[in-house]
Amino acid sequence: MKLQENVSVIQLLALVINFQIGSSIVVGLAGQAKQDAWIAVLIATVVGVGVAYFYYKLLSFCPGKNLYEILEFSFGRIIAVGVSLLFIGFFFYIAARVSRDFAEMMTSAILPNTPIEAINLLLMLLVAYILYLGLEPLARTAEIFSPYIVIFFGLLTLLLWVSGDISIRQVQPVLAYGWAPIAKTVFPDLMSFPFGELVVFTAIMCYTTKFRYAGKVAMVGVGIAGLLVGFSTAMQIMVLGVDSVARSNFPLLSAAREVSVAQFIERIDAFVVFIMMLGIVIKCSVYMFAAFKGIEYVFKMPYRPFVFPITMVISLFTVMIAFNFAEHIDEGLNYTIPYFNATMEYAVPLILFVVTYIKVRKQRKKKGAEKA
């Protein structure tokens, strides 16, 4: 009996939300837009919903096939393997970056004496274990933990509000610099990170039990996640002010440090880290799962034996990709996002979309001709 692993609609929603929140609340978003960053995020969310629909449409040409199988359908196996390897590299690379984001935060804020490699290794072991268990446990884990993320967010807001740190004046004047900086942040940056990253779901969405709802669910998920991220961005600015946000490496964490209620609830940043960790674990696992699906396609064998060794490689590269945090962020903002992300998230899928569309139409015509 072959067990086809499936993801229910609610689980897909939980995965998308966790994935999108993932690293985007760890590192601040849309710094160039100054106090209008939240507007930029909200606009990007609208675009992101469209992007989600685009990926869904791409998958719905061949229902039941994932990204790699569609590549084969459109280009044939040889080219498909090449492009798949590119995707696999991309997914692993971003997974390593995501893990690095989090590990940097852990070392700088919570566990200053623990080497970053050890923190990474533990995270990667967890990811390896989840992936070894399969997609279903991953989705269920996301399902169980996502209520807590929302609850934590609400609680954090409440605490910040109670301790009187939120001042609406920090985001005023709205649109002081006009639309230009907003448009600039939305178009190369926010489109690729975090909203374009939904491209990994092209390898996962096809396992949804009710595929016809998958697109809508992904769109709703992106919407909710975008609202949450926009909200958190706005909150960061309201609490810290534009300058502090720009200077801080991890703005949400810095904001959480401001909480002080009745001299009793103080320093809740350790708990905030844990909201972030759930998102990171899910995001990392989803990326790695998509990549392992690619390995499964390339090597034509189940991915489980690969999980542990490959995860160890990723844990090595998590520390190899950059010497320090400054290089890591610089590489991310100035090289990875504009070149690598944009290519793999938009250029390749767009070409694939066109080719597949033409091919599917040809087939339909042929069928129509045969029928007639």
Partner 1 sequence: MVTFCFFLIFTLLLVITTIFDMMIYKQTILKTLHSLFFSYVGAGRYIAYMSAGVGLICSIIIDYRLRTNKKAKKPSQTDLP
Partner 2 sequence: MINWIQKIFFPSKIQRKQSTPDELVPEEGTEKVLNGDIQSIHAEMNKAFGKSADFKAGELKIGGKRGFAFYLDSMTDSKGINEIITKTLSDPTAKQYRINNEEELKGFCREFFSASAYQIISYQHELVWQLLSGSAVIVVEGIEGAVSIDLKTSEHRSIVEPSTQTVVRGPKDGFVESIMVNVSLIRRRIKNPHLQFEAFQIGKDTRTTVYVAYIDNIVNLGIRNEVIKRIKSIEANAIFESGNIEEFIADKTWTPFPLAYNTERPDSIAGHLLEGKVAILVDGSPFVLSVPVTIVDFFEISEDYYEPFMMGSFVRFIRYLSFLIALVTPAFYVAVITYHHELIPTQLLLGIIAQREGVPFPALVEVLLMEITFEILREAGVRMPRAVGQTVSIVGALVIGQAAVEAGIVSASMVIVVAVTAIANFVSPVYSFASASRLLRFIMILLSAGFGLYGVLIGLVAMVAHLSSLRSFGVPYLAPVAPFVWEDQNDVFIRFPIWGMKKRPRYLDTQAPIKQPGSKSPTPPPEGDGS
Residues that bind partner 2 (CB under 8 A): 8, 10-11, 106, 110-111, 114, 118-119, 122-123, 126, 129-130, 133-134, 136-138, 140-141, 143-145, 263-264, 266-267, 270, 273-274, 277-278, 281
The item of partner 2, partner 1, none sharing an interface with residue 5, based on CB under 5 to 8 Å by kind, is none
169 vs 300 by CB, closer to partner 1? 300
The item of partner 2, partner 1, none sharing an interface with residue 318, based on CB under 5 to 8 Å by kind, is partner 1
The item of partner 1, partner 2, none sharing an interface with residue 93, based on CB under 5 to 8 Å by kind, is partner 1
Least distance between partner 2 and beta carbon 275 (Å): 10
The item of partner 2, partner 1, none sharing an interface with residue 335, based on CB under 5 to 8 Å by kind, is partner 1
Piece of 52-60, 76-84, 139-147, 308-316 that binds partner 1 (CB under 8 A): 308-316
CA-CA-CA-CA torsion sign (12, 295, 127, 51): negative
Could you tell me if 41 and 171 are in contact, meaning their C-beta atoms sit under 8 angstroms apart? Answer: no
The item of partner 2, partner 1, none sharing an interface with residue 263, based on CB under 5 to 8 Å by kind, is partner 2
Least distance between partner 1 and beta carbon 333 (Å): 11
Which residues touch 361 (CB under 8 Å, ≥6 apart)?
none
**Backbone torsion region of residue 238, taken as left when φ is above 0, otherwise alpha when ψ lies between -120 and 50, otherwise beta:** alpha
Distances from the Cα of 89 to the Cαs of 121, 161, 166, 227, 290, in angstroms?
A: 20, 43, 42, 30, 11
SS3 200: helix
134/137 Cα distance (integer angstroms): 6
Which residues touch 248 (CB under 8 Å, ≥6 apart)?
28, 240, 254
Report strand pairing: 260-261 vs 265-266: antiparallel
The item of partner 2, partner 1, none sharing an interface with residue 311, based on CB under 5 to 8 Å by kind, is partner 1
- Measure CA 115 to chain center: 25
55 vs 92 by CB, closer to partner 1? 92
308 touching partner 1, by CB under 8 A: yes
Nearest residue to 316 (alpha-carbon basis) of 45, 117, 115, 47: 117
23/99 Cα distance (integer angstroms): 9
The item of partner 2, partner 1, none sharing an interface with residue 141, based on CB under 5 to 8 Å by kind, is partner 2
90 vs 153 by CB, closer to partner 2? 153
Least distance between partner 2 and beta carbon 174 (Å): 36
Selected binder of partner 1 within 144, 176, 265, 313 (CB under 8 A): 313
Least distance between partner 2 and beta carbon 305 (Å): 15
Nearest residue to 227 (alpha-carbon basis) of 146, 143, 150: 150
- Measure CA 257 to chain center: 25
Selected binder of partner 1 within 54, 61, 117, 359 (CB under 8 A): 117
* Binding to partner 1 in span 53-92, by CB under 8 A: 85, 88-89, 92
Nearest residue to 43 (alpha-carbon basis) of 57, 27, 29: 29
Could you tell me if 193 and 337 are in contact, meaning their C-beta atoms sit under 8 angstroms apart? Answer: yes
State the residues that interact with partner 1 by CB under 8 A: 85, 88-89, 92-93, 96, 115-118, 120-121, 124, 132, 295, 299, 301-302, 304-321, 323, 327, 330-331, 335-336, 340
